[in-house]
């Protein structure tokens, strides 16, 4: 294992020193933490982490290696990876490459032997901070200066950096589904940073899926006449993605729409609501959410730093359908007049529990009703 020094420097002047296990170099970003025990490869390849340096709170990371099947996008979009203890010798029959090798392949700095408990407590108290992750010959003073001069996520349009360049059709299926379902629906997916398992879940419930770049005009989507429109997850500040809000506003009431994560926030903005930045966000695979329609509690996978302001939603047109039981923030909304609903969490999981998979069935029910 490399003994190259690794550093994590925060904008408040705090510096953690550890050992590099990824690529050498330096990256800046917003330092956040994720409480998942597994799923680090899916986390690294989730485009929603664009612009962020990820701290894993679970102490041992890398023990099952990496493989080509667990990637959620075309690459790694995170800016860095921080762990307490890194396992350089993975033991798993699916593993084809160690996590350190994987980070080097994607030119991503990784630092281990950091007190991740202390770092996480600092982020919980102070809030997510700008920071720098570095591996190599750097002074602590220059790293802190770089952290202070790095851009904030607020106001950044990161969607344009992760979306696809051209529309494409997608056909893969969730591994726990047997056989191919009968194709019943044509679904247009706006790619704001979509995860592959979202697309697989749609295919697995009988959807023919076509994925469109984030800046695709609403007129193009309507000209293709889909049965439903899906708004994906994605990174950054939703209020900075004004072109998406305008397109969604044009589509509401014309086709059934389902949104998750960033798609949920963009729907709220299109309906006249507001969003705000959470202190340290929700990132992990164990967040309790209550479905207000059934009063059932589901354990969910989450990754977001912004949230819908419940008090700013138009009460005549919208209902809160889901509530986060950790902090009582909005986790889902539905329109009272038009076939539109959204959730903040990730029903497709990958990685995480499958408690919220029923929401995809709710989408097909909505498309069936609209056809009728």
| Active-site residue list | 261, 346, 348
Q: Print the SS3 string covering the chain.
A: CCCCEEEEEECCCCEEEEEECCCCEEEEEEEEEECCCCCHHHHHCCHHHCCEEEEECCCEECCCCECCCCCCCCCCCCCEEECCEECCCCCCCCCCECHHHHHHHCCCCEEECCCHHHHHHHHHHHCCEEEEEEECCCCHHHHHHHHHHCCCCCCCCCHHHHCCCCCEEECCCCCCCCCCCCCCEEEEEEECCCCHHHHHHHHHCCEEEEEEECCCCHHHHHHCCCCEEEECCCCCCHHHCHHHHHHHHHHECCECEEEECHHHHHHHHHCCCCEEEEEEEEEEEEEEEEECCCCCEEEEEEEEEEEECHHHCCCCCEEEEEEECCCCCEEEEEECCCCEEEECCECCCCCCCCCCCHHHHHHHHHHHHHHC
């Amino acid at each position: 294992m490399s003994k190259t020094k690794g550093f994590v420097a925060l904008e408040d002047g705090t510096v953690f020193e550890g050992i590099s296990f990824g690529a050498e170099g330096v990256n800046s970003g917003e330092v956040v933490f994720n409480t998942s025990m597994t799923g680090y490869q899916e986390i690294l390849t989730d485009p929603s982490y664009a612009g962020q340096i990820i701290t894993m709170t679970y102490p041992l990371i890398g023990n099952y290696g990496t493989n080509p099947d667990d990637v959620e996008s075309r690459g790694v979009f995170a800016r860095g990876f921080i762990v307490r203890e890194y396992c350089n010798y993975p033991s798993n029959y699916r593993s084809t490459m160690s996590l350190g090798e994987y980070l080097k392949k994607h030119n991503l700095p990784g630092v281990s032997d950091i007190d991740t408990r202390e770092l996480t407590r600092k982020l919980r108290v102070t809030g997510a901070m700008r920071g720098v992750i570095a591996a190599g010959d750097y002074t602590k003073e220059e790293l802190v200066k770089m952290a202070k001069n790095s851009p904030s996520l607020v106001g950044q349009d990161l969607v344009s950096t992760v979306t696809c360049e051209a529309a494409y059709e997608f056909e893969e299926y969730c591994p726990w589904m047997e056989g191919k379902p009968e194709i019943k629906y044509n679904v247009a997916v706006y790619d704001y940073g979509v995860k592959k398992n979202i697309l697989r879940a749609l295919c697995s419930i009988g959807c023919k899926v076509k994925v469109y770049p984030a800046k695709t005009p609403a007129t193009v989507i309507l000209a293709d006449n889909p049965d439903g429109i899906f708004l994906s997850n994605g990174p950054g500040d939703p209020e900075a993605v004004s072109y998406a809000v305008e397109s969604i506003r044009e589509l509401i009431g014309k086709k059934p729409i389902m949104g998750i994560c960033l798609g949920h926030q963009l729907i709220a903005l299109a309906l006249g609501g507001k969003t705000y930045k959470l202190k340290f966000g929700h990132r992990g695979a164990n967040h309790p959410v209550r479905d207000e329609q059934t009063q059932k509690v589901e354990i969910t996978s989450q990754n977001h730093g912004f949230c819908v302001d419940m008090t700013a939603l138009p009460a005549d047109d919208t209902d809160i359908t889901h509530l986060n039981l950790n902090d009582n923030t909005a986790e889902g909304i539905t329109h009272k007049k038009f076939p539109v609903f959204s959730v903040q969490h990730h029903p497709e999981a990958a990685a995480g529990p499958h408690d919220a998979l029923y929401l995809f069935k709710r989408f097909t029910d909505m498309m069936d009703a609209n056809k009728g």
